[in-house]
Amino acid sequence: MNYNHDMKIKIIFPEEFFTKAQLQKLKKYEVEFIPGNEIDLEKIESLFSSDSYILIVNPTYLKDNWNAFPVERVQRMKGLKALCLTTSSFSWIDTNKLAEMGIIVTNIPGAPTEAVAEFNIFMMFSLLRKLPLIVKNNWNMDYNNFLNNEAVGLTAGILGLGRIGTRVGELCRGLNINVCYWNRSKKESAFKKVTLEQLFQESDIVFNTLATPPELKGFINRDLLSKLKRDSIIISTSDTQVFDEAYIIDKVSKGELGGYAFESKDKKMTDFHGNVMVFPEQAYYTLGTQTNRASIAAETALSIIEDKPIIYKVN
C-alpha cells in the first residue's frame, strides 16, 4: 500500500489495554483514542474527513453496535483506508463491498479463544440446570417442573471447528461429554466428524462457534433443527443469524426443544418463554482477551502503514 507517515490511527478501544511499548510504537504516527460507550459515529467529524486514517474499533463501544458500518456510511468516510476490527466476527461488515472501495478489513480470530470457550460451557450449564426458568420463577426452584440434567455422557455437536470450537470440544471431553463436529472445510481432529444431518440427529448439546460470513445466514434451517431431540439445547456465542432463530425460540416455548442460550445487547431473558437464556455480550470480555486484542490490533495497524504483510486480512 505504501502508506506514508501522514497516516492517522483512530482507536475506539480502551487505551488501558495497550502496553506502554505498544503505545510508543503507535505514537510514531498521529494517534487519536475516541473514548466512551454508545459512541455515535455520525458525531465524530474527523471520521468523515478526507485525511487518510486507519480505524481500530470494537462495536461494543458504538451506539449502532453491529450495525455501525453500513456501506452508505462507509462511503462517506472518505479517508478510511483500513478497518481493523478487534472482534473475530466480521459478518456484520460487507467486506466485499469495502474491498471494492479499496478499504482493508482485518479481524482478530484467536484473541478470545479461552474466554469464549469457557463461556460456552457456562452457558451450557445454565440451560442444563434450568437457570432461566428458576430466575423467571422469582429464583424459586419448582421440583415438579424444573428437573435438571447432568452433562456427563451427553453428546455435544460443534458447528465450526476453529480455535474456539476446538477448545470447546476439549473442555467438553474433560467433562466426559462425547464430542462430534461439522466444519465447512477439512480438518485434522481427534473428534468425530459427522455430516450436518448427523450432528443434529445425535447431539444433546449444539454449540455454534461458526465464524459466520454473510452467505451462511439462515444456513441452519428448520429442516436441520427439526432433527434435534426434544431435550436438546443450543448454545451460541457466534452470529445467531446462522439459525432460523424464531423457529428455535418457538420450539423452546412449546417444550419441544430443551433450551437456547445466546448473547444480545437488546434482548432480555424475560422477553421469552421457556428455557431461553440471554446473556449480555460478555463471552469475550476478560482481561486476557482485551490485552491480546490490543496487541494484535496495534501490530495490524502498524503492518498496514509500514507496508508489511497484513495480519488477519479478511477481504
pLDDT in tens, 8-63: 999 999 999 999 999 999 999 999 999 999 999 999 999 999 999 999 999 999 99
pLDDT in tens, 83-117: 999 998 888 899 999 999 999 999 998 778 999 99
Q: Which of 167, 205, 170, 200 is nearest to 182 (CA)?
A: 200
Give the three cell numbers for residue 103.
Answer: 478499504
Whether 8-110+287-305 shares its CATH topology with 113-279 is answered: yes
Query: In which band, very low, low, confident or very high, does the pLDDT at 264 lie, cut at 50, 70 and 90?
Result: very high
Fold observed for domain 8-110+287-305: Rossmann fold (3.40.50)
Q: Classify 53 as helix, strand or coil.
A: strand
Query: Which residues lie closer than 8 Å to 61 by C-beta, 6 or more apart?
Result: 12, 13, 36, 37, 38, 39
- Cβ 82 vs Cβ 301: under 8 Å: yes
Query: Which residues lie closer than 8 Å to 192 by C-beta, 6 or more apart?
Result: 178, 179, 180, 181
- Cβ 56 vs Cβ 12: under 8 Å: yes
Domain boundaries, the chain: 8-110+287-305, 113-279
Query: In which band, very low, low, confident or very high, does the pLDDT at 213 lie, cut at 50, 70 and 90?
Result: low
Residue 103 one-letter amino acid: I
Fold observed for domain 113-279: Rossmann fold (3.40.50)
Provide the pLDDT for residue 111: 77
